[in-house]
Structure formats: structure tokens, C-alpha cells
Structure 1
Amino acid sequence: MNDANSTGMHGTHRDHEPAGAGTFAMAELLDLDAEVLHAHLDELTGWLAELATPAPSRILDLGSGTGTGTLALLKRFPQAGASALDVSPQMLHHLSKKAHALGLADRLDTVRADLDADWPGLGPADLVWAASSLHHLADPDRALARAFDALRPDGLLAVTEMDFFPRFLPDDTVQGAVEARLHAALNDRPAVDWTDHLTRAGFHLEERRPFAIDLRAPLPAAAGRYAQASLRILRSHADGRLSETDLVALDTLLDGDGRHSILRRQDLTVRSARTTWAARRP
């Protein structure tokens, strides 16, 4: 999630938070992201289906988290099986439970793995998916070289990153200005363009495609909880970066379902942008 590069919020793969509240908060956020942005996921996986011909029979998800990408791809490609890799056993357990509830458990293997260490032998894949995970790695070029080796010839790699963390409040409100300052305070690294990295690893770039996300009323039912969970993650890194006045304003927004809670606002939107690089192994 590129609007907070320094805080480890791009995904779950390299978040070094201990198991507990931080892990559960991130799992909640990832699940809400999938629920609120399901139309984006449908568009993205539909585009990949056009590129991945023939349809893949084996999918590898690098840094799967709670399985947003894994499950979306299994639904898109009903003949495929998937292996989901993540360093967090809690995330993988959560993913397994979701897959079981959806009737997809027999098509999914979960594998605890640190992508900066040696990878387990997983067999050849037709599609490798890496969403908001590569930038967490100590050596992403090494991981891309391994992904290249894991793909069959003509196999497809999809790398997805957030261009900026979601925004929810109108810019012309006091709270929207606080949200903007929060994002600015945490956005201290530029977004990565993976094109050259992919080329060095031996891939042929098929397309670099930006996806703009701009959801307006009526929003999905979970949008308020998504906004609350997102801002809570950002707020946990804001001490010392914002004024006390701004921190109090954030805490008021995040105060459960209180009178001034973000859950009670009728003017929410969901604005973000994500970029996907689709690259092929020759």
C-alpha cells in the first residue's frame, strides 16, 4: 500500500509485527479491501484471463496474506489449483478457513515461507501473482528470478502495487485535510516501477496497466468499516508525525461508532489507484 511505504502496510508478507492485534488488524483490513473493491478484483482478474492463454492450471501466490488474490484467481480459473505462500501462519490459517467456507479448500495449498529465504519446491506454475509483497523483500530481484524459474515457458507473472493508500474523506472538510496530512506524513518513499526489475529477471513485459478506483455513493455496505480499519492502521504509525490536534481529530473519527465516528459519515468515498505489471516468461 504505497501511501505508507515506511510503515510496512503494503501487504502482510514482510510486516514484522508480532502475532496479535497488529496481525488481526491487518487481516481485517485485507478482507475488507477484497469485499469493498470486489469490482476492481473482477476487472483485474478478467484482464489476466485474457492474457493467460491457455487458462492456467497452477497458480502461485507470493505473499498471499489472507488470500485476496488467491481466492479471486481460483474463482476466475475454476480448473486451477493454487499454492499460497506467506510468512505468517495466522494469515495462512485465516486463508484456509475462508477457502473451506467457499468450497475451495481442495484446490488450495498454504505454505509458510519467507520469500527472502529458500523457497520450497512447488513444481511449475502457469501464473504467479505477487500483490503488494515484492517491495517488502530485501532482494526483490532475487525473488523475481525465482518466480521466473517457477513458471513454465510462456507462463505469466502479475505484480500489483498500490499507487497510494485509499482516501475516504472529502478534501474540502476539516477531517479530509487531516487525512491528507496523515498520508503526506507517512508517504516518505517513492513508488517502485517494476519494469526494469522484470526485464533483468528475464521476463517480457506484456503490459503495465493502471487501475483508478473512485467509488461514490451508494457504497458497499462494508465501506465504513474499511475506512475505519484503514485509518486505524495509519493512525498506529502517526505519533510524532502529526500535530496533537490532528491526532485528536483522528482518534475522534476512530472512536468506535460514537457520534463523530467515521462509521456515521454519509459523505465517504473510496479513492485509490493500483498498477499491475503483466510479464511473460519467454
Structure 2
Amino acid sequence: MRPLIAICTNTFREIIRDRILYSLIIFCLLLIGFSVAVGQLSFAEQLRISTNFGLAGIQFSACALAVFVGSSLVFREIEKQTVLTLLSRAIGRATFLVGKFLGLISVVAVVVLGLSLVFLLIFLLLGGKIHENLFYALWGIFLEASILLAMTLLFGMFTKPILAVSFSIAFFLIGHWLDSLEFFASQSPSGLFATFGKSAVKLLPNLERLNWRDHVIYLDHIGLDQVLWGTVYASSWSILFLSLAAIVFARKDFV
């Protein structure tokens, strides 16, 4: 347990000093500020516009952090050969990988929490009322980022960071389009496309199941069972991708 905590802590400290992190935070804050300015153009819709932009900014920051930093999380250690030093200290490869994951996902959690506080403050100043849907939507953003991080780590075992980022972005877009893909596949006269659509729905995580932003904007009810199911769903996919990454990492040759 101590090696795991040590790797997690060191990873957290390392990422906190990364310029990418602060660039994403600044971008999100600018987006939130922009949403307030745009909202002024339509006073009746100001709160709705600001809420939509604010949550989208937090989602972008969390997911971009998971993908862009996660793509080089292990690659940098391998490239610098520091991974050999760590593994020579009787630290298991799975422990190393999980520690890296926990370190980065902890940073994501801190970023989501910090940006959420800014967002909620602006939300209150604009006359919004705090309700549980807001917290559910923010939790869904964190869960989505955890899936993307585990997926990016898996891609990083096979490819260089730039390709891992490209694949992760592609799967992010597909993950939010699976419901539409399933519908079009069911209506398509092409048997090949129908098979592809059905296979994609079964083999890929449906990220729209964690997207509760519209429920906040339109005040639709989100059941606690829906949130719990989403948590189990996201955790299962994260564990699956992380386990596959650990299997590949265990067989990887660093020499």
C-alpha cells in the first residue's frame, strides 16, 4: 500500500506543476466569464446560457486534463528510463500504473471541485437556486473523465502520446453519439452498418449516460438510482480499461 500511495502522491505533485493544468483552468474561467457576457445579450436566458457554458467548460477542462496529461503519464517515465528505477525497488507494474491513475484522477477531482465553486458562486449571483441536479451533473463530469483517463492509459500502452490523444478524442465523440448511432443503425437498409452500430453500442462506453447537464438547464428530475447506476457503469468501464492497460504494461519491454 505504501508504494501505491507514494506513486499517487508524487504523480499528484508533478501534475500540479504542469503548465497544461493551468492553461485549462484559465480557459475554463474565461469560458465561464464569456458565458456571463453572452448572457447579458438575452437577459431572460442569462442563467440558462451561463449554466450551459459553465458546465461545458468544466467538462472540457476535466476531460482534456485526463486525455492530454494521461497520454504521456507513463510514456515520459519510460522515455526517461525512470520507470526502471521505480520497478527495481520491488514495485509491481500494476501498482505503478494504478498509482499513476489515482494521482491524475485526484488532480482532476481537485480541478472539478475548484471550478465548480467558481461556477456555483456565479450561478448564485445570477439568481440561480442550488439543487441536487447541479451536483449530479458535476459528478457525471468527473465519472466521464475517469473513463477517458483509463482509456487513454490503455491507448498509451500501444502508441505514442499524440496517437493516444487522437484515439481518445475519437472515442469521446463516439461515446456521446452512440444513441444516435444505434438509432441510425436500426433504420439503415445496410446490414453491415446495422451490425457495426449494434457492435459499437455493446463494446464502447456510452458517455451520454453520464451527461446530466440538460437536466440542470431544463430542471428535469434525476433519480438517485440513475446516479448510482451511472457511478457503477463508469467505475466498471474504468476498471476494465485500467485492467487491460495493466496486462499490456506487465508484458511491455523497456529495454
TM-score (structure 1 length as normaliser):
0.23
Q: Which protein has the bigger helix share?
A: 2
* Larger Rg, first or second structure (1 or 2): 2
